Amino acid sequence: LIPFFGLLIAAAVLGERLTKFMLLGGGLVLASTLLITVYEERQRARTNSRTPA
């Protein structure tokens, strides 16, 4: 997520122009982070439900 927020800060503070490829790359970073987080949470929930108390 650091590259994504670095890009936004560079645009806001330094006046950097964002291209469509930069925005597409940022969206890809956010989407992949979301997918990995959801997948890991489902795996953790599945593992916890199988473990006897």
Those residues whose C-beta lies under 8 Å from the C-beta of residue 3, and which sit 6 or more positions away, are 25, 26, 29
pTM over 0.75: no
Report residue 51's pLDDT band, with 50, 70 and 90 as the boundaries: low
Q: Which domain holds residue 16?
A: 2-50
pLDDT digits 0-9 by tens, 13-50: 999 999 999 999 999 999 999 999 999 999 998 888 87
Q: Domains in the chain: how many in total?
A: 1
* pLDDT of 25: 92
Amino acid present at 10: A
